[in-house]
């Protein structure tokens, strides 16, 4: 069977990159597509433009900006073959569509389905007008308790499934695709055979789910990992350094990355050669190669290549008015449908200490931001006077009046 990847001229802001060059779990989208198709025994053909495919045999075609998991592609082809007709991949609305930031994807939305740029074509004699083949991707969910004044419900549900399909049309789509890939490993473990689970339990010498998850780690070569560091459900590349007391949970750490002591990385993807200082952290965030971070808590954000976040940077991810976070797309604000979403730093962006960002903002490539001079200590006079600041004089106890 053959697959055709349809060319597009899209670019993703603020990076200016084509979607196929964007990184999903530290691999370009183009390489990820090719690898998945190869795994399924499907031959990827040279990239045509739409309308240029003349193949009388069974084949599929998809947009070059489409991310999909092997399980989703396999299910779509299998069910399409049963129907023996031309099919368009569609997804049933549910928790997956609720959390995948649909408003930023250029896809067709209907009350009963969401259609993506993936089609199956049977042999020429069986073809007709393509019809939607609806797949329900929802499988499991991760539940986080939240106070009722933060959200309408007392719980936040995030799906984890191995049936993933996301159109990469915005930086928020890159971010959510990376996060879904991490959660898909939990779904595969949940669906694993009893024999595999038994082997993991024997290795862990326990039926405790956390101890079992600890035995699913994939550790690369020549790593320097302190014995007090805790790693769980994660993939660690070659030559990675992890300091004392650090916690790495359900994350991917790229080769050559250095993580200091007492740092926490959860549900995040760090690219090659990143540097995370001691006491820093990242939760549900994505860092491209070369990112340097001293920030204490980076939440639901995407950092481009060779970015720098100094200690004292504050990334906001939640609006106090209770509304969803909005992002800019094609010069217009778009409601993401999400209560929490951080920021996107373009390639080579530097943020100095004291910078505070609003939720959903993006910063163009190459921009370096520091506080205004009036808000920094630039000089100190001989008597301790500092422009823009007041000097507080110590008061003796007997001078205090009540």
> How far apart are the C-alpha atoms of 44 and 36, rounded to whole Å?
10
If DSSP codes are grouped into helix, strand and coil, which group holds residue 91?
strand
One domain, residues 138 and 176: yes
Pair (173, 233) in one structural domain: no
- Lowest-confidence pick of 45-54, 219-228, 342-351, 386-395: 386-395
Sign of CA dihedral 157, 160, 164, 170: positive
User: Which SS3 state, helix, strand or coil, does residue 181 take?
Assistant: helix
Written as six digits, the tokens of 3 are 């697959």
Judgement on whether residues 145 and 213 belong to the same structural domain of the protein:
no
Could you list the residue range(s) of the whole structural domain that residue 65 is in?
2-187
CA torsion, ordered 99, 100, 105, 110, to nearest 10 deg: -60
Q: Which residues contact 329 (CB under 8 A, 6 or more apart)?
A: 104, 169, 170
Q: Is the pLDDT of residue 348 over 70?
A: yes
Give me the residues paired with residue 23 across strands. Answer: 28
Position 401 in a domain: no
Percentage of residues of the chain with pLDDT beyond 70: 98
Q: For strand 87-91 and strand 113-121, is the pairing parallel, antiparallel, or unpaired? A: antiparallel
Q: Which residue in 119, 117, 4, 89 sits closest to 52, CA to CA?
A: 4
| Same domain, yes or no: 177 and 294 | no
Same domain, 224 and 312: yes
- 136 and 237 share a domain? no
Residues 88 and 175 in one domain: yes
- Highest mean pLDDT out of 191-205, 246-260, 387-401: 246-260
Tell me, what CATH number does 339's domain have? 2.160.10.10
Q: Which helix (H) or strand (E) holds 204?
A: helix 194-204
List residues bridging with 91 in a β-sheet.
Answer: 114, 135
Is residue 376 domain-resident?
no
* Residue 340 per-residue DSSP state: B
6-to-43, 160, 242, 265, 335 alpha-carbon distances in Å: 14, 29, 41, 36, 28
383: in domain: no
User: Would residue 400 count as lying in a domain?
Assistant: no
- Bond from prior residue into 222 cis (ω within 30 degrees of 0): no
Strands 140-145 and 218-219: what pairing? unpaired
Residue 319 lies in a domain: yes
Cis before residue 244, ω within 30 degrees of 0?
no
Is 87 contained in some domain? yes
Last residue of a domain, one of 187, 214, 237: 187
Is position 140 within any domain? yes
Both 47 and 182 in one domain: the answer is yes
pLDDT digits (tens, 9 = 90+) for 97-116: 999 999 999 999 999 999 99
Backbone angles phi, psi at 260, to 5 degrees: -75, -170
Indicate which CATH number applies to the domain containing 10.
3.90.550
pLDDT category at 395 given cuts 50, 70, 90 is: low
Q: How far apart are CA 360 and CA 340, in angstroms?
A: 9
The whole model's pTM is what? 0.93
Same domain, residue pair 165 and 217: no
pLDDT digits (tens, 9 = 90+) for 286-322: 999 999 999 999 999 999 999 999 999 999 999 988 8
Q: Could you tell me the pLDDT band of residue 50, with boundaries at 50, 70 and 90?
A: low
Number of domains, the chain = 2
Lowest-confidence segment of 242-251, 315-324, 326-335, 357-366 by average pLDDT: 315-324
Cα gap 113→118, rounded to integer Å: 14
pLDDT interval class at 377 (50, 70, 90): confident
Is the pLDDT at 394 greater than 70? The verdict is no
Give CA–CA dist 59/61, Å, rounded. 7
Q: Are residues 211 and 159 in the same domain?
A: no
DSSP 53: -
Shared domain check, 143 and 33: yes
Q: Is residue 309 part of a domain?
A: yes
Question: Residue 399 pLDDT more than 80?
Answer: no
Q: Are 215 and 130 found together in one domain?
A: no
Is 275 strand, coil or helix? strand
Residue 251 contacts residue 268 (beta carbons within 8 Å) = yes
State pLDDT tens for residues 143-173. Answer: 888 887 877 777 788 899 999 999 999 999 9
Give the end of a domain, one of 187, 216, 232: 187
């Amino acid at each position: 069977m053959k697959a055709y990847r349809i060319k597009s001229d899209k670019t993703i802001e603020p990076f200016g990159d084509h979607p196929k060059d964007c990184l999903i779990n530290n691999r370009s989208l183009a390489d990820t597509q090719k690898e998945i198709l190869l795994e399924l025994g499907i031959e990827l053909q040279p990239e045509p433009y739409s309308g240029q495919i003349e193949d009388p045999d069974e084949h599929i075609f998809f947009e070059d900006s489409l991310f999909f998991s092997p399980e989703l592609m396999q299910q779509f082809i299998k069910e399409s073959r049963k129907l023996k007709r031309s099919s368009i991949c569609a997804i049933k609305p549910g928790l997956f569509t609720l959390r995948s930031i649909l408003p930023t994807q250029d896809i067709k939305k209907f009350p009963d389905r969401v259609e993506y740029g993936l089609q199956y074509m049977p042999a020429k004699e069986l073809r007709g007008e393509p019809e939607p083949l609806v797949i329900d991707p929802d499988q499991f969910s991760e539940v986080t308790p939240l106070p009722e004044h933060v959200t309408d419900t007392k719980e936040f549900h995030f799906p984890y499934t191995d049936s993933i399909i996301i159109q990469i049309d915005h930086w928020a789509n890159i971010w959510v695709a990376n996060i879904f890939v991490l959660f898909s490993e939990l779904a595969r473990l949940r669906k694993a055979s009893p024999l595999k689970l038994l082997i993991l339990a024997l290795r862990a010498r326990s039926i405790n789910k956390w101890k079992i998850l600890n035995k699913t780690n994939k550790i690369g070569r020549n790593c320097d990992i302190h014995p007090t560091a805790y790693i769980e459900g994660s993939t660690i590349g070659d030559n990675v350094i992890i300091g004392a007391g650090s916690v790495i949970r359900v994350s991917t750490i790229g080769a050559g990355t250095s993580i200091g002591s007492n740092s926490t990385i959860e549900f995040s993807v760090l690219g090659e050669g990143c540097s995370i200082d001691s006491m820093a952290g990242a939760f549900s965030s994505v860092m491209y190669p070369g990112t340097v971070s001293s920030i204490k808590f980076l939440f639901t954000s995407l950092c481009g290549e060779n970015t720098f976040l100094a200690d004292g940077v504050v990334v906001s991810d939640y609006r106090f008015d209770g509304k969803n976070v909005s992002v800019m797309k094609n010069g217009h604000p778009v409601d993401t449908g999400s209560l929490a979403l951080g920021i996107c730093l373009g390639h080579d962006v530097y943020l100095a200490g004291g910078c505070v960002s609003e939720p959903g903002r993006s910063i163009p490539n190459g921009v370096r931001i520091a506080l205004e001079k009036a808000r920094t200590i630039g000089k100190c006079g001989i008597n301790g006077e500092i422009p823009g600041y007041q000097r507080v004089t110590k008061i003796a106890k007997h001078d205090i009046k009540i």
